[in-house]
Amino acid sequence: MDSVQHIDSAKVNEGAKKDIELHNQRDKSIEEGQRLLILTDEQPWKPWQRSRSWVKECLVRVRCVMGSLMGMEWYCFAALGVLTAFLSFLMDLSVAKLLRAHQWLYSQLEGHCLLQFLCWTLYPVSLSALSTSFSQSICPFSAGSGVPEVRTILSGVDMPHYLSLTNLFAKYVGLICTLAAGSTVFLGKVGPFVHLSTMVGAYLNRLCTVLRGEKEERTEGAMLVVAAAVGVASCFGAPISGVLFSVEVMCSHFALKDYCPCFFASACGALTFHLLSMWSGEQETLQALFQTSFSDDLPFYPLEIPVFAVLGLLCGAGSCAYLFCHRWILLFIKTNKILIKVLSTEKALYSAMVVFLLASVTFPLSAGQYMASKLTIKQLLSSLLDSRQWTSQSHNASVALQPNLFPWSEWIPSGNPYLTLGFFLFMKMWMLVLACTLPLPAGYFMPVFIYGAAAFSGAVTHTLSPALLALELTGQSTHAVPILLATLVANVLARSGQRPSFYDALSISKKLPHLPSLLKVCPRLSSVPIGKVLGPGGPVLERAAGPTEVQQVLNTCSQTQIPVVDTLGSRILLGSINRSDLQTFLCHNHNKGLKKQLVDMCSIQPVSVQLSPDTTVQEVTPSFTPAPPALPLYEVCNAPLGHGRGLGDVLLDHHHQS
């Protein structure tokens, strides 16, 4: 037995020796090959070396010529507008073909009620389930609007997965399937397209860095701010309202230097969108997307202005009801155990069930005939903006038989358009709230705009940009005063209860970093001086400090920048000094035996905000809004005004308490 074990161990040792010898020979051959390459200075062979070098030289020359005309970032801004508009047009074209296929199939089954019902319900159910499963399987971050996430990114939070090309592909395909489900689901594309535009902007920012030949990537804050404006401009061909939307919704801090790039990129996107629509035959010339034909001689009487204000009050009240229902259903989904289990494992099944319910309600041979369910989102908006008189047309019994009145004729199946319109408003309220729970790429602005135009959508989002969007969409500038009045009144009513807006509610529901308004969180705090809220927060230096005080501060703190105040009594922040400058100050004083003051030898970096203990919190708040990294938040948040804490800590504490 011992002899057998001895033979086995000998064989194992021989095999191990052979493996070691082969490994050593392989390492020697690799080292010899590397040594020969170094000695002969030979490079790996590449095909078409002359052609590659010639193309590279041409690209370098083109880059030099383009850079001499304007900065490379401006070409990226223009490319952002053109690419986003092309994606928008391609999406509209694909959705239109899918919707026409559904309408054709439904019309071919006329006379077979059961088959028509199955066609009407299963088509959007399949597309919604496909949108959910496709987006969730490829990139789970692609579901929803995307606007709350973009707002969080613009506030300075790093969320790289939300700007990846994988997310771009998943959200784009999923959004096409969602929109192809039609008005049954009643969802739009504005929010997701803003998200898509920011993804394109992030990619172009990296490309711009490569074209400049820079090793380090620049901050993409400005490019993302521009992309948010381009997203709206490319959806409707409305550049001005797109920029205003970016200012109001997307950015809590909007730098003045971003206005010009935003307008430039939005104009490029809107022009490209209109040109593509004109070349495809949808438009004859460059005009408003939903051109109206109301009279310009006397657009409204002065006595009608109070009526517009009352209309704004009604829209504001409706927006309060809608926001309440939206917040309630978001809370219900987060707390219901059955829905939590279904949404965690079977999101596609949940989407199919909800869409089947919505499609059954909107079936044209049942309740759907009283809510113009055959019309698409675009047809709904164009029919509601029609200049025809509803009363005079409803008296014509043959109006439904006239093909030239389609799609307006879908509103009068019973001869009374007001009955259909009232039923439409009642049903679409709860249906839209239910559709907002679907875990698929979808936008919520356009359905709200169709429901109540500028006043209602402005009150829901707490913005005024829908008023300008209505003017750009219709080209009816004579109605600017009534639209703006109704939107302002609706906003006043919607904001009166200090309720969060639609996008704020989504941010809170998703637990995204979000700083609310101080007036909403704690109204009493707005008039309190910050000297009572905060006290000394860390070591500071007087402008007249000497070497002893500087040495003491350097020994007690490790910060790279030290705040400088006028005097320790006034506590007025003047700016900050780098730690390296303070060390240089000490060296000069020690070597030359000088006793100069800090202000004599060091340059104080000024701050954009001057604070004192008597400054109220309400005066500080506009300067403290979450900003891109370029804003010196250090001086604002870590100013010598807190008991070991900055103003940002106080705001966050109030946010968590709310």
pLDDT 10s digits, 475-499: 888 888 899 999 999 999 998 877 8
Band of pLDDT at residue 631, cut at 50, 70 and 90:
very low
| Domain boundaries, given as residue ranges, for the chain | 66-279, 302-519, 530-657
Instruction: Give the pLDDT confidence of 367-407 residue by residue, as tens digits.
Output: 888 888 888 888 888 888 877 776 655 555 444 445 555 66
CA Rg value for the chain: 32
Q: φ and ψ at 371, to 5 degrees?
A: -140, 25
Tell me which DSSP letter residue 593 carries.
T
pLDDT value of position 654: 42
So what's the pLDDT on residue 633?
34
Q: Which pLDDT does position 326 carry in this prediction?
A: 92
Pairing of strands 541-542, 605-606: unpaired
Q: What is the pTM of this model?
A: 0.73
Q: How far apart are CA 162 and CA 139, in angstroms?
A: 9
Measured CA to CA in angstroms, residue 518 lies from 6, 41, 152, 503 at distances of 84, 67, 18, 17
Smallest CA-to-CA distance from 233 within 379, 82, 459 is with 82
How many angstroms separate the CA atoms of 170 and 382, rounded? 30
String of b and e for 368-398 (b: at least 16 CB within 10 Å)?
A: bbbbbbbbbbbbbbbbbbbeeeeeebbeeee
Residues 83, 604: Cα–Cα separation, whole Å: 45
In this prediction, residue 232 carries a pLDDT of: 86
Give pLDDT, residue 417: 79
**Predicted pLDDT at 180:** 92
Coil/strand/helix, residue 576: strand
Confidence class for position 115, pLDDT limits 50, 70, 90: very high
What whole-number distance in Å separates Cα of residue 450 and Cα of residue 457? 9
| 5-53 per-position pLDDT tens digit | 444 455 445 655 555 665 566 565 555 555 544 444 445 555 667 776 7
* Same fold: 302-519 with 530-657: no
Choice among 31-35, 80-84, 224-228, 420-424 with the minimum mean pLDDT: 31-35
Give the residue, 81 or 1, on which the prediction is more confident.
Answer: 81
Helix (H, G, I), strand (E, B) or coil at 144: strand
The superfamily in CATH containing domain 66-279 is Clc chloride channel (1.10.3080.10)
> Which CA distances in Å does 484 have to 141, 238, 466, 468, 559?
36, 17, 9, 8, 50
* Phi and psi at residue 631, to the nearest 5°: -75, 130
CA-CA distances (angstroms) from residue 408 to 79, 356, 448, 510, 551? 39, 27, 20, 40, 80
When pLDDT is averaged across residues 538-549 and rounded to a whole number, the result is: 77
Find out if CATH 1.10.3080.10 is the number for domain 302-519.
yes
Q: Regarding the domain delimited by 530-657, which CATH topology (the fold level of the hierarchy) does it fall under?
A: CBS-domain (3.10.580)
| Better-predicted residue by pLDDT, 349 or 56 | 349
Q: What DSSP string runs through 221-270?
A: HHHHHHHHHHHHHHHHS-HHHHHHHIIIII-SS--GGGHHHHHHHHHHHH
